[in-house]
Structure 1
């Protein structure tokens, strides 16, 4: 195809989340895009939609206009060669009643655009998926890439740990810690059975792990190998970690199985500050004072819930 997203500089991301995930989703959006929204985000940042558990897809904008008819007049510029295509009206869940477009009208819009594209339409498994969506008084058309829920494949591991965070939370936390992975070195120095490591490695992020418990390190290595990723995990206390990293992710290891003293918490966070510029801490306790004592500034945060009826929630705290 001659005119495609190689020249695209703007994207629209479609997002969705449950009520209990609103806070976590908003924090991830602020990290990735610098803003938050319920359903649609327009950005110049090119992010693989499969990175996020909350992004449904990414529209790489090719044309825009005040109406569907304006879009229809532009799409004839596309040269698809022998490639098949499909046009998809991108559904938005939270539009007010006066802005909602019903199913029948959505199909009419798809057909109107499709009739004006020079090429062969194919409803199942087309070579190219196009999308069209209204946003802030404009209509946008482009290639649409649907998200793949990679994190779902990681839910069943050979080694499990009752207090480990969910793969969905882990994936969001990795995005919060590492919005742009280009050239970034990351560490999880209290990695447990490797939930964060698996998610980061699946995104191609350069991350290493360590833990002072040999049994969980063994489990972490087994989980990483099970999913055919290549990652280094060492038996090492955070106090023994050397080198410097762009980011660290720490799920406080004492906050469920047993209560850590403020001194133990301070030791972990103090060493985190020593080895990393940016640290994302997960905790169910109020440790703001300890974080500040270690010399960090809290730059953002959210509460992460497993469900609406969950008795406790983890805090996700971004420190620099």
Structure 2
């Protein structure tokens, strides 16, 4: 029997497009609301936007029916029940604090096992959405990756940590057996996010100073990864995915011709490419032989970057 998962999301209004592009990468679909249902298992800690994942064990038409079905559960670990309706969930109204505690007690008393409120080994989530009730194993997203925002080596034009992490997820949603390269890695923001999620990635940059900084950043977080000095033109191996935060002439001396050469070389060495750019590059991508398969605008106040997935 295929497992079903319910994912809850929290995102800022400016992040809607980026979040939905990440959804499409992980699940092959997106939703406008803050709950997504899928049979694909994703660790919620990978996403900057996922709040939690509920693996559905029980489903019912009413809380009474869910209570009855819960009596069939027999769990060995010390457990705690948690009602997730502390906010509106895709049009289903928030449930007040007292009522949520009552629901948690009722369901918890039906489960065979030993409850533990302070230090549980297992969280059993309860969710009411679209006039249905669900219960199952609850996994919260960890915010450990937030520490990556404080790197020892940084510069003002580097990608933000949230965007870098999302870019990796869009480019490499399912990393098993995938070879990844960031050939213009700069200070290593993308490298740190990929490596912290266990995704093998190779870094490269033409600037020795930023390569030094990216190596130091990787080591600072206890990660291991290879960063090479040199232009993308010197890459001779083939990769499944290239992630490129495109150098732009607002802050560097690169020309449009130089940008086009980077894209042509990326086409040569990678089957797919994720481009992050402040400029429209559709014509350059077409000239380079890429086909755009998905895209969005990643906004931050009045500043925006295009995120473009190509094959």
Instruction: Please indicate the TM-score interval, normalised by the length of the shorter structure.
Output: over 0.9
- The answer as to 2:137 corresponding to 1:146 is no
Partner of 1:230 in structure 2?
A: 224
Name structure 1 gaps, 5 residues minimum: 1-6
State the Cα distance separating 1:36 from its structure 2 match.
1.4
Say whether the 8 Å CA contact 1:63–1:74 is kept in structure 2.
yes
Name structure 2 gaps, 5 residues minimum: none
- The answer as to 2:43 corresponding to 1:52 is no
2 CA distance for matches of 1:302 and 1:96? 22
Match of residue 242, structure 2, among 248, 258, 264: 248
1 CA distance for matches of 2:21 and 2:114? 42
SS of the equivalent of 1:91 reads coil
Say whether the 8 Å CA contact 1:8–1:62 is kept in structure 2.
no
Compute the RMSD of aligned alpha carbons: 1.6
State the Cα distance separating 1:121 from its structure 2 match.
1.9
Say whether the 8 Å CA contact 1:163–1:256 is kept in structure 2.
no
Partner of 1:109 in structure 2?
A: 103
- The answer as to 2:42 corresponding to 1:42 is no
2 CA distance for matches of 1:9 and 1:71? 18
TM-score by length of 2: 0.95
State the Cα distance separating 1:97 from its structure 2 match.
7.7
Deviation string 1:111-134 (CA, Å, 9 cap, x unpaired) is 110111122222222111010112
Partner of 1:315 in structure 2?
A: 306
**101-110 or 175-184, which moves further after superposition?**
101-110
Structure 1 segment 169-188 matched on structure 2, within 5 A:
169-188=163-182
Match of residue 90, structure 1, among 84, 88, 91: 84
Say whether the 8 Å CA contact 1:255–1:284 is kept in structure 2.
no
Runs of 4+ in structure 1 over 3 Å off: 92-100
2 CA distance for matches of 1:193 and 1:122? 45
Deviation string 1:58-86 (CA, Å, 9 cap, x unpaired) is 111111111111121122222223x3211
TM-score by length of 1: 0.93
State the Cα distance separating 1:259 from its structure 2 match.
6.2
